[in-house]
Chain A
């Protein structure tokens, strides 16, 4: 018999309000083994990780550490048990130095329990040497690039000789050689007896690094098995549970004249010299790593942020800098990335949320026409098949996928000529995802020009007629559908010119 797993969960369930994030999931992490966690966005991977890290308390199920039951009352407990987590979004303290960020909460001490600043500095320096990176421990975390922030997170995990290393898409913002170096470090840790849980959307990375794989779909456990003998297609089938074609129902459309034309758009320090066109009937994918400046371009085009140089034209009409209302009047709509913070008013009803974009149009004698607002909202809620009890319910009570549909409804109700969607399917379930894709495809067929920003490569490849790729604030590639592959897009997104 092998040793008991270092860390394991049995029968884990967790719900947030009405949303069931995890249901009866089990997972075993063994010393010296790299374990992949596969699943689509919204499959429950992040919730599982946060439960292992002590951030969430499970509703049901048991955690065991070295075979004995354990309860993590908070992230501190998990850390003390040797569980290190590197999150997708780096969690740094912008005002503090890099060295302090690494050792916060467990700094080396000298007499009287005082923090030994010299030792902190030296230890951080040693970690960076071990990782072979050139970072100044005294530098404040504010202003670090995403890749540098990720390195600080990895140094943090290394600093307490973690027995269990959990990595939530650590490679998403790294270049090829940085990934290779990270994998080198992870392999060393694994050979020294650490258990590794690894999440990545790049399947080849899973096969490269891991021995076992656990697949989640819609919060449920699909399989937990050795990777040997599996193919990428097997994994995809387990993750998606249906054929890819069905998930990406892209129709062939008649491509018309240019609807959105962006020329040499620059916002200093954010993006530089961005030029592209989107034609009627076309879905253009905008790919790139987190922090490449994609959302920022979208915000500038729509007028939420100002640009420093360049022009934006919608159907031949130049837009004013920093004026969303003229952009809307010209037929532009932006479905933002973060629906909670930017897309919806959570406490307001579905009806009112959809109605927000019509405050200027559904007016009679200077007053809001409530009847017109309701019928306009109902019409769109039905067309998008939003699942709700009553249209007067608060949007916050809906599931993530339905919330996303409400945001879409809100903007589609303005009958846009150009639709910019930023991460339209992040964190929503597979079924709704396919519906959103079908909707985008139908809109394009009706002659709407669609610009789709997405970090989900299969989505970009499955939906876009053309793929634009950004890397560190610049457009680095324009790839037609026929030539777009994971490799060609990732190469451009990581700055390796293909």
Chain B
């Protein structure tokens, strides 16, 4: 600012443009970096085991990632608003069982999926209402609903179990079928991902989610319906967890009262590894999806390389800490660059 009024020879533009470019680059880089890590990992695995990227191999990779991608997409919506939904695992579990229970009685597959989504919407509304109206920290509220939903699920399901043989053949085929190496389920997840990403980028409501995560007080002053947006984010997150439940049923055909137990932590890891900042306002659903792809692929990569799968958890943890460390370092660097730029101009 002061440049235009004070310095006689404003050598501003190069510095400012460089600052802007730097920031742009860093944010684009975040997704690219995950993609790169993913590709390198796949490349190394393929070099060590040429069977890895067979048609079935690719299909397995995609199928494994599908459900996590869906739930992570929903979670990213919530995390962008500076909140979190820990109940997604429970929502997924109860939705999967509800869909299975309905199909077991000879129901229609489409209706079963809609049922699961509707149940997810209900759970999301509950979370959203508690967080936005109750003004209680999301971490605590959704920890509560995690147990509540899991508890209801346990009482309802008891020791019952749904297996693939209880389900209509069409539903099971849908769960495992696909167009050459690309499973139907992955296509659904991709479609959802693209729609959500487009909404976040190109619609007022989507931009407002970023705004209220970036500075809640400023969002309120800008007249953004903060509660409504948070409620919407949670509802969408619940809906996607419900959809993921139905797809889980189609993929594995096996659901009991423990389905989805502890899943929320994997989801949150995927979102954070994917560069969605936990303090809100920044990140993308593409990043979250890439994070999900990366985490699930490790499960396939290690056996293919002959490494024991007991390493999976430890490696996931290292990735998570690494992602946060990288974010922190990048943030400090960017802040530094911007400050120096301002100092130069001041």
Interface residues of A (CB under 8 A from B): 53, 55, 74-80, 85, 87, 91-96, 100, 104-105, 107, 109, 113-115, 117, 132-136, 138-140, 142-145, 147-148, 151, 175, 177-178, 181, 268-270, 472-473, 495
Contact = CB atoms under 8 A, between A and B. Distances in A.
Given A136-B20, A139-B20, A140-B23, A91 B221 contact: yes
A426 to B, nearest CB: 19
Contacts of B220: 55, 74-75
Interface of B: 1-6, 10, 12-13, 16-17, 19-20, 23-24, 202-204, 207-208, 210-211, 213-215, 217-225, 281-282, 334-336, 338-343, 345-346
Nearest 6 CB-CB pairings of A with B: A76-B223, A143-B338, A269-B339, A91-B218, A95-B281, A93-B214
Given A139-B20, A148-B1, A151-B1, A105 B215 contact: no
Contacts of A95: 210, 213-214, 281-282
A143 B346 contact: no
Instruction: Tell me the interface secondary structure of chain A in the complex.
Output: loop
B230 to A, nearest CB: 15
A117 B3 CA distance: 28
Nearest to A110: B202
B1 A93 contact: no
A77 B223 CA distance: 8
Nearest to B217: A91
A374 B32 CA distance: 60
A143 B211 contact: no
B207 A104 contact: yes
A495 to B, nearest CB: 7
B219 A134 contact: no
B4 to A, nearest CB: 5
B340 A55 contact: no
Contacts of B215: 91-94
Contact of A133 (B1, B336, B338, B343): B1
Contact of A147 (B2, B16, B208): B2
A297 to B, nearest CB: 16
Given A178-B1, A269-B343, A495 B222 contact: no
20 contacts: A79-B223, A91-B215, A91-B221, A93-B210, A93-B214, A94-B214, A94-B281, A96-B281, A104-B207, A104-B211, A105-B222, A139-B16, A143-B335, A143-B342, A147-B1, A178-B5, A181-B5, A269-B336, A270-B339, A472-B346
B211 A96 contact: yes
A74 B204 contact: no
Nearest to A140: B23
Contact of A269 (B19, B219, B340): B340
Contacts of A80: 223
Contacts of A104: 207-208, 211, 219, 222, 224
A290 to B, nearest CB: 14
Nearest to A270: B339
Nearest to B80: A95
B25 to A, nearest CB: 12
Counting chain A CB atoms within 10 Å of each CB, which of B5, B221, B282, B346 scores highest?
A: B221
Contacts of B222: 75, 79, 91, 104-105
Nearest to A472: B346
- Indicate the member of B5, B13, B219, B334 with the most A CB atoms within 10 Å: B5
B245 to A, nearest CB: 30
Given A95-B210, A143-B338, A113 B223 contact: no
Nearest to A174: B1
Contacts of B10: 134
A177 B6 CA distance: 9
Given A142-B338, A143-B19, A75 B211 contact: no
Contacts of B202: 114-115, 117
